[in-house]
Structure 1
Amino acid sequence: MKKLLFVAFFWFALAMPTEASTLQQQIDDAAPGATITVEGEHTGNFIITKPLTLLGEKGAVIHAEGSNPALTIEQTQDVVVRALAFTAKQRAVVVKDAEHIVIKDVRAKDMNIGIQVHRTKHVEIEGAIIEGPEGHYAKKGNGLALFESEDLKIHHNFITNVQDGLYIEEIKGIHVYDNTVSHSRYGTHFMHTDDGLIENNMFEHNVTGLMVMMVDGFEARHNGLRYHHALNGSGMLLYDVKNASISDNQLLENRVGLVMQTCEAIEVEGNYFEVNQTAIEATRIDDASIVRNNTFTGNILTARSDQKGLSLRANTYDDYEGIDVDEDGYGDTSYMAYSSFGQWMVRQPAYQYFVASPSVELLTKLDSQTKVEQQVLVDEKPRIMTQRRETLPRNYRQVIVGGMIVFLIGLLWKRSVRQ
């Protein structure tokens, strides 16, 4: 009898559905538009092909089995995935050939790619926390990888320790806002994506905060780009970009704040360039591009460019030595950001190691006293930097003690003279 019970129990255990098949079975059996509450941990490669909401309870985790994605959403619409954690060797979540997809408050750690989207319309990714594995970024994938899709809203995500925080290629209509990306190669990387808007993001401790390449129509505003110190690092780099607006950003403590290469019709306005090694570097820029109404403080070099030059207008410079006699808010003499050393550094980046050396400072001073035939890097009407003087409260105790010390020193000196 015991033997029969053992055999029956054995076959019953084999017939029990696994954890993975249970969740997939729920997905397969659910009516379109249903909500599935996910509890506990599940291992497998789950697929959604119908309108559905997947809602995780506290502690709900989906582990990918093998190298396939933990969750795939394909050939469907109206899918919501919320409050789930994922682990995967390669990709945590893949979305392809779908519409109206919302991914919110998910977590992915130690995967190669966090969320990957292909050929999908109307996507919102909000509140994701994505952290890549340890190691060099060249061996990692991207936090969010977005391809050939339309109408995307990417906001309030935190991404760190990946190759590119957001890799964006061939997207029509994308709004990237209120994200934080750190310790990666590029914070955000735009490729062949026209008319994108990126605002209110924080990029820090990457190689380059924002990389924009081969784009016609782009706007970056109210972003923070700071602490990009690598040899080839920069806060923001534009390459082969046309018709872009760069406004009201803060570029702080970067090797180069803003790099522009082979660009046309770029407006750089209202930004704060603070404590960068070089604030702006420009090569092969057209005459329609302009840098105006920006503030430059604490930068070693304000700007450097190739011989075609860069148009500077009505910016504020902390090293401007002119005066404003008529008090109209503008200097009475022009500001020259030209630096022969800066020009050399464009061609020989290794020269940056001599920045702030006594010889370079002397050379820069001589530049300011020399009229340059080519009117490169000259702001004809610089704004005057308003300086606020604060009157410090007097420390009377310190004054009294100091006076007593001076009095005693005087007495001792008199005694020594008499003796």
Structure 2
Amino acid sequence: MAVFDTDSARSRRLRLAAVALVAVAAVGTAGAFTADPSESVPEPVRFDDAVELGLSSETDALMADDATLPRVQVFYSQLQYVVGYNGIASFVESLSDGRTERQFGYPLIAYVETFDHRDAGTTESGLFSASGAGGWTPVGEARYVVDSDARTPAGAVVVPFAEHEAAAAFADDHGGSVVGWEAVRGRSFDVDSAATVRALAPDRWRTANERLAAAERRADRPVSVVVGEDAPTIDAAVAAAPPNTTVRVPPGTYEETVTVNRSVTIAGAGTGSERGDERVTRVVGNGTGSVITVRAPDVALAGMRIAGTGNRTRDPDAARESRDPEGGTWDTNIQLGYGHGDAGVKAVGAPGLVVDDVVVDTNASGILLREGSHATVSGLVVDGTDEWQEGFMGITGMESRVTVSDSRFEGGRDGIYLHRADGSIVRNSTFADNRYGTHLMYTGDALVADNAFRNELFAGVTVMTRPAGNAIVGNDVRNSSAGIQASGTRTYIGYNTLVGNELGFSTSARGSLYEHNVVVDNELGARATTVVPSSRVAANDFVRNGDHAAAGAGALRVWADGDRGNYWEGANVGPHDSGSRAYRPTSPVDAALHREVSAVTVRESPAARLLDRLRGTVPGARSGSIVDPAPATEPYHPDRVDAATTADTDRRVPTGWRSALARTGNATALRHSTEWRRADRPATAGGEA
């Protein structure tokens, strides 16, 4: 029943280890499972009681299409929790990565979900599906159908059965062949990883350039109506303008609200940032509702200041419904509540929106996008409320992808809030005095790059719920409660500069990669937060933090990638050669080395050496700890460390990440890049956004 040869001497030792494992006391972590001490070989558990790894966003996509993803649950020799893998491929890949065994111990037994009596088949779109509750079979005893016509959103699927006859029947109907576990384990799976996301990040930057260039071309239209000459108001001018022409709005103050129901450009004289105030075009609402409402594709707004919005931040009925357990899902109610407030510009079902050189003074949202209103935004300035509770978002994007460049968001609730806005890009922008700077919910395949965040109340960049494939690169976060807190899977967090925050970053994302971040002068440099670690943390520079790192409950975290560790100020003091001794930032002694050099005396004591030997062999001594087995002898980015502490704090420290990451591209990344660009098309009618 074990994952490997049950007759081997190692497996016999591991079965004895299983008895020791199940005697470990439970810890108070919600949703975690500790094996029953009466069981010598653990029985399978409800998958909801396992700590899930794998493709969580893929699981969402499958559920939306009434499809099914085969799952695996694994008991490891030095882990108190059952680990659940979404997808057999993700478990197979974990067996060969060399890190899982070091952190979790050896897999004692693994169970695979089998589909013998579940009417296994495919949906109309070819996704694997099955009905009813399945059984759990040891992986070594199950039979697997490979190379069938069944698929998942990520590609081919391995379909497991408890009996050969059931597997053969499925293969007769859907093609493929029936194989055993060793054949499955020996296969190579094309599993997306954070390294793929890393390689795609420069391409996403280029995609932003293309979207901005297309938006500029789309907005460049001949003038057909001039306000004050051909029509008395902006609203009347828009109604009179033929499609695909420009309404020119001369300098002045226009006290009105505007509805745009056709594809036109509204071009003001400017916002006053480069011209004198006498050349400004101002559009001022009456203090209720939104000022400009867009309900047509390919509309462009440029060169104007907008004020006079209402102060409604959400729909009251939907907000009340969201507090009612019977009123619908939290996700839906948030979209209803957040998507129906007031804004300087509100777009509903308006793909291809272009906003350029616009300033919005608002008591609610600056720009509100809903129902596929994919937008390209540049040169936007949103001035929100002084108290975040009294205002709302600079940009609110509900199921609407945005590309934001060279903009500024100050005050209010969140600078940018995106909800199910896959493929969005936020770059080269400044955020200050918000609750969150950039806040993503259910939003994957996004790029957040080269932004500056200052004095954010909760965090600079926050990613919540179950997204995948996000790249957070080259940002500079200072003087905030947290720098970067990103959840989800397959996230790439690299080349960021995190200075003077209460927390630099947390490793909340699973199956992700944290590298080349400069973490300086924070109260806490980094925190390991996932119960079951599955991410890589390497080549980061930790300097002058109160504490370099801390960890919550869970298995030993190994923060290195092979022989590439992190730079920890203080790690190399003492009589040993630099980089030759492991560093434990969660150890009371090691954690003090960069503050108190005399702590090295304690570190070299016989008692400390004995404790070092115990760590990594006794499960209880591993809990809530981090070890770097190959600490770097010098900072990876000394120039960035110096710039972070000496440069003007209002300026972002340049990182050169695009040229660095361009060198990591490969054929796999190119293929995924093509797929990402294909998915980049607007979901509804209208121009590219």
Q: TM-score range by the shorter chain?
A: 0.7 to 0.9
Tell me the equivalent position of 1:181: 431
1:77 alignment counterpart? 297
1:379 counterpart = 2:600: no
Higher RCO (C-alpha 8 Å, min separation 6): 2
Amino acid paired to 2:257? N
> Share of identical aligned residues, percent?
21
Pick aligned residue for 1:116 from 356, 368, 373: 368
Q: Which residue of 1 is the match for residue 235 of structure 2?
A: 24
Show the 5 A alignment for 1:219-258.
219-228=471-480, 233-239=481-487, 241-258=488-505
Match of 2:581 in 1: 333
CA 1:284 to 1:332, structure 2 compared with 1: closer, same or farther past 3 Å? Answer: same
How big is each residue's C-alpha offset from its partner over 1:184-236, in whole Å with a ceiling of 9 and x where there is no partner? 100010001011111001111112111110122211011101111xxxx2111
Structure 1 pair 34–334 and aligned structure 2 pair: CA distance change class (3 A): same
C-alpha displacement of 1:291: 0.7
Contact 2:291-2:309 within 8 A present in 1 as well: no
SS in structure 1 opposite 2:572? coil
Equivalence for 1:282 = 528
Q: Is the 8 A contact 1:290 1:310 kept in 2?
A: no
Alignment of 1:311-322 (within 5 A): 311-313=558-560, 314-322=565-573
Q: Which residue of 1 aligns with 2:550?
A: 304
Q: 1:147 to 1:21 in 2, by over 3 A?
A: farther
Query: Given the superposition, is the C-alpha separation of residues 21 and 45 from structure 1 closer, same or farther in structure 2, using an over 3 Å criterion?
Result: farther
Corresponding pairs, count = 346
* Counterpart-to-counterpart distance in 2, 1:201 and 1:365: 43
Name the counterpart of 1:65.
286
User: Distance between the aligned counterparts of 2:627 and 2:380, measured in 1?
Assistant: 45
**How far off is 1:260 after superposition?**
3.1
86-95 vs 198-207, greater mean Cα deviation: 86-95
Q: 1:162 aligns with which of 390, 401, 412?
A: 412
CA-CA distance at 1:323 after TM superposition = 7.2
Note the C-alpha offset of 1:368: 8.0
User: Contact (CA 8 Å) 2:363, 2:390: kept in 1 or not?
Assistant: no
Instruction: Output the CA distance in 1 between the equivalents of 2:584 and 2:604.
Output: 7
Q: Which amino acid aligns with 1:106?
A: V
- Judge conservation of contact 2:358–2:380 (CA < 8 Å) in 1: yes
Q: For residue 545 of structure 2, give the secondary structure of its aligned residue in structure 1.
A: coil
Secondary structure at the counterpart of residue 69 of structure 1: coil
Q: Which amino acid aligns with 1:89?
A: T
Paired residue secondary structure (2:490):
strand
The residue type equivalent to 1:269 in the other structure is: E
1:145 and 2:396 correspond: yes
- Matched residue type, 1:168: L
Measured after TM superposition, the shift of residue 310 of structure 1 is 2.5
1:300–1:218 Cα change, 3 Å: same
Per the alignment, do residues 130 and 324 of structure 1 end up closer, same or farther by CA in structure 2, a change over 3 Å counting? farther
Q: Which has the larger radius of gyration?
A: 1
**Distance in 2, Cα, partners of 1:282 & 1:129:** 35
Q: State the 1:173 CA deviation.
A: 1.1
The DSSP-based 3-state class of the residue aligned with 1:254 is coil
Structure 1 stretches lacking a partner, 5+ long = 1-16, 344-354, 389-419
Distance 1:161 1:342 in 2: 40
Pair 1:142–1:365, CA change in 2 (3 A): farther
CA distance in 1 between partners of 2:464 and 2:604 (Å): 35
Distance (whole Å) between structure 1 residues aligned to residue 589 and residue 441 of structure 2: 33
Give the CA deviation at 1:83. 0.7
Check conservation: 2:421, 2:444, Cα contact below 8 A: yes
Q: Is the 8 A contact 1:148 1:171 kept in 2?
A: yes
Q: Which runs of 4+ in 1 moved over 4 A?
A: 322-326, 340-343, 360-369
Q: In the TM superposition, what is the alpha-carbon distance from 1:109 to its structure 2 partner?
A: 1.5
Q: 1:72–1:93: 8 Å Cα contact kept in structure 2?
A: yes
The answer as to whether partners of 2:541 and 2:635 remain within 8 angstroms in 1 is no
CA distance in 2, matches of 1:364, 1:137: 46
| Contact 2:393/2:412 (8 A) holds in 1 | yes
**Is the alpha carbon distance of 1:191 and 1:368 closer, same or farther for their aligned partners in structure 2, counting shifts above 3 Å?**
farther
Looking at structure 2, the residues matched to 259 and 217 of structure 1 have their Cα atoms a distance apart, in angstroms, of 17
Show structure 2 runs of 5+ residues with no match.
Answer: 1-227, 270-278, 311-342, 616-620, 639-689
**Aligned AA for 1:128?**
L
How big is the shift at 1:133? 2.6
Correspondences of 1:13-52 after superposition (within 5 Å): 22-39=233-250, 40-52=252-264
What SS is found at the alignment partner of 2:238? Answer: helix
**Partner of residue 212 from structure 1, selected from 463, 487, 491:** 463
3-state DSSP of counterpart to 2:501: coil
Alpha carbons of 1:386 and 1:23: their partners in 2 closer, same or farther (altered >3 Å)?
closer
- 1:325 CA displacement: 7.9
The Cα offsets for residues 74-122 of structure 1, whole Å up to 9 and x where unpaired, read as 1x21211001100023321101101211000100114321111112354
1:260 is aligned, of 493, 507, 519, to: 507
- What is aligned with 1:3? none
The residue identity in structure 2 corresponding to 1:87 is A
Q: Secondary structure at the match of 1:321?
A: coil
Letter in 2 for 1:276: N
Shift of 1:34: 1.3
Q: Counterparts of 2:416 and 2:600 in 1: how far apart (Å)?
A: 39
Q: Would the aligned equivalents of 2:472 and 2:492 in 1 still touch at CA under 8 Å?
A: yes
Q: 1:254 to 1:46 in 2, by over 3 A?
A: same
With normalisation by structure 1, the TM-score equals 0.76
Shift of 1:21: 6.0
* CA distance 1:124–1:361, shift in 2 (3 Å): same
1:315 deviation in Å?
Answer: 0.6
Q: In the TM superposition, what is the alpha-carbon distance from 1:33 to its structure 2 partner?
A: 1.1
Query: Whole-Å Cα distance in 2 between the matches of residues 324 and 187 of structure 1?
Result: 45
Give the Cα separation in 1 of the matches to 2:514 and 2:533. 13
Structure 1 residue 324: deviation in Å? 10
SS, match of residue 211 in structure 1: strand
Distance 1:66 1:225 in 2: 34
Which among 494, 512, 517 is matched to residue 271 of structure 1?
Answer: 517
In structure 2, what is the equivalent of residue 397 of structure 1?
Answer: none
What whole-Å deviation, never above 9, does each CA across 1:332-390 have from its counterpart, x for those lacking one?
Answer: 111121235999xxxxxxxxxxx99x9x99999857863342453111111101699xx
What TM-score comes out, normalization by structure 2 length?
A: 0.47
- CA–CA separation in structure 2 for the residues paired with 1:21 and 1:340: 73
Higher helix proportion (structure 1 or 2): 2
Q: Report the residue type matching 1:86 in the other structure.
A: I
Q: CA RMSD in A?
A: 2.9
Q: 2-side partners of 1:281 and 1:341: how far apart?
A: 18
